[in-house]
């Protein structure tokens, strides 16, 4: 698929913007702070209903405006779909597909699919487990939009159960305490948590060989240390991880029963997919703490390439839009060239860079200059 036209109203620095786009490579070139990333952020938002830069919608709306409108016309196998999204901070966002309103913005998930590479991706290797969980969960939602609902339910159960652990824990220390409803929340957390955990395990199994392959292709040395991707669950080592939801739910519930006292003392949910991590190994060692800067970058890029590969294969060759936001400036020459070769053949690639020299030659294509919120097609 590819984006044929992007139009924005009061989004970030743009009062209005109309940007026609072609398949193939488009480089968005301009000095920092001129609005390049805002453009790819808008494309990403339409695909994931979230920004890779901020957690809330507030900063996305232009200063002084009440709402922002994002609109993209997406071409997929010669069929065109118009996706529109209206962001109103503090209110419910609204979406339309081909001019018809949809009941919830969530319904547009899957119509436009993107894989985004950004400088922040280094945190996938070097950062906290939360970064890696988010990588998995966002990919889950792109793969099966239904998972957006499962994630939302899980967050809600988690909040309810945490609130209960806090109040019940405090009451217990005071001599009283009411644990009757905790059993009920345990069961609900286990049920929704098993769904999320099972889906993540399936995903890691599918990604592992793709990450290995991408890493080999990106690394220059003849025999790079082999990488591997695994999953570490809060259930601990002794529980065998299967994707059978009933087995997982039972294991989660048993683990909660076992750690109940500790959970009450700390007022925290200590069991469940929100405590898990993705294990990335480089040869014998965990990548975090052992991988060099260059190796970490290769691994981070491999994770994104694997996601691209997986989404393309599973939708019968319909490739997601590739977005490379300011990444080439972060890479050494050889990684730059290899990454460029690997992505050059994708159906649509959007690249942002401060100067034209940051875009590798293999990614020769259209060029759009971005300056002070104005865009101009140069080539």
Partner 1 sequence: MYEGVVQDLIDELGRLPGVGPKGAQRIAFHLLAADPADVRRLVAAITEVKERVHFCRVCGNVAQDEECRICRDPRRDVTVLCVVEEPKDVVAIERTREFRGRYHVLGGAISPIEGVGPDDLRVRELMTRLADGVVTELILATDPNLEGEATATYLARLVKPMGLTVTRLASGLPVGGDLEYADEVTLGRAFEGRRLIDV
Q: Quick one: 173 or 220, whose CB is closer to partner 1?
A: 173
CB of 253 to partner 1, least distance (A): 13
CB 60 within 8 A of CB 12: yes
CB of 265 to partner 1, least distance (A): 17
Tokens of 98: 């081909």
CB of 192 to partner 1, least distance (A): 9
CB of 179 to partner 1, least distance (A): 11
Residue ranges in contact with partner 1 by CB under 8 A: 103-104, 107, 145-146, 149, 153, 156-157, 159-161, 163-164, 167, 178, 180-181, 183-185, 187-188
Q: Quick one: 160 or 205, whose CB is closer to partner 1?
A: 160
CB of 272 to partner 1, least distance (A): 15
Q: Quick one: 60 or 158, whose CB is closer to partner 1?
A: 158
Beta strands in the chain (DSSP E): 2-11, 14-20, 24-29, 68-76, 79-87, 94-97, 100-101, 114-117, 227-232, 277-282, 285-286, 321-325, 348-353, 366-371, 374-377
Q: Residue 106: is it exposed, middle or buried by C-beta count within 10 angstroms (0-12/13-18/19+)? A: middle
Of residues 259, 3, 267, 248, the one with CA closest to residue 112: 3
Residues near 33 by Cβ (< 8 Å), separated by ≥ 6? none
Count other Cβ atoms within 10 Å, centred on residue 342: 18
Half-sphere exposure at residue 220, Cβ-oriented, CA atoms within 13 angstroms: 11
Beta strands in 192-317 (DSSP E): 227-232, 277-282, 285-286
Q: Quick one: 17 or 252, whose CB is closer to partner 1?
A: 252
CB 337 within 8 A of CB 360: yes
Query: Alpha carbon of 374 to those of 19, 64, 189: distances in Å?
Result: 10, 19, 49
CB of 256 to partner 1, least distance (A): 15
Q: Quick one: 85 or 306, whose CB is closer to partner 1?
A: 85
CB of 13 to partner 1, least distance (A): 30
Q: Quick one: 16 or 167, whose CB is closer to partner 1?
A: 167
Q: Quick one: 105 or 294, whose CB is closer to partner 1?
A: 105
CB of 45 to partner 1, least distance (A): 21
Cα 258 to Cα 53: distance, rounded to the nearest angstrom: 39
């Amino acid at each position: 698929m590819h984006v044929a036209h992007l139009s924005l109203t009061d989004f970030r620095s743009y009062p209005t913007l109309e940007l026609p786009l072609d398949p193939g490579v488009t480089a968005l070139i301009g000095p920092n702070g001129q609005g390049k990333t805002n453009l790819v952020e808008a494309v990403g938002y339409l695909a994931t209903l979230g920004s890779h830069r901020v957690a809330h919608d507030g900063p996305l709306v232009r200063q002084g405006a009440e709402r922002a409108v994002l609109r993209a016309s997406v071409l997929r196998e010669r069929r065109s779909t118009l996706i529109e999204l209206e962001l109103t901070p503090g209110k419910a966002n609204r979406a339309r597909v081909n001019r018809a309103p949809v009941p919830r913005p969530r319904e547009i998930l899957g119509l436009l699919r993107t894989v985004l590479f950004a400088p922040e991706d280094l945190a996938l290797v070097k950062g906290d487990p939360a970064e890696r969980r988010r990588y998995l969960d966002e990919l889950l939602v792109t793969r099966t939009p239904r998972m957006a609902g499962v994630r939302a339910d899980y967050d809600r159960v988690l909040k309810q159960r945490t609130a209960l652990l806090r109040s019940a824990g405090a009451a217990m220390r005071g001599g009283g305490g009411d644990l009757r409803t905790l059993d009920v929340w345990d069961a609900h957390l286990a049920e929704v948590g098993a769904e999320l955990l099972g889906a993540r395990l399936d995903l890691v199994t599918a990604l592992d060989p793709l990450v290995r392959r991408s890493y080999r292709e990106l690394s220059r040395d003849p025999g790079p240390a082999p990488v591997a991707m695994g999953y570490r669950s809060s259930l601990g080592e002794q529980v065998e991880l299967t994707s059978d939801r009933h087995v997982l739910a039972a294991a989660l519930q048993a683990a909660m029963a076992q750690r109940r006292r500790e959970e009450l003392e700390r007022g925290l949910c200590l069991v469940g997919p929100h405590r898990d991590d993705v294990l990335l190994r480089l040869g014998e060692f965990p990548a975090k703490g052992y991988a060099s800067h260059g190796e970490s970058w290769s691994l981070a890029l491999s994770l994104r390439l694997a996601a691209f590969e997986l989404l393309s294969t599973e939708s019968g060759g319909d490739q997601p839009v590739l977005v490379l936001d300011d990444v080439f400036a972060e890479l050494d020459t050889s990684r730059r060239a290899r990454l460029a070769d690997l992505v050059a053949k994708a159906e649509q690639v959007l690249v942002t860079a401060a100067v034209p020299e940051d875009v590798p030659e293999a990614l020769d294509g259209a060029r759009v200059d971005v300056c002070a919120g104005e865009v101009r097609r140069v080539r």
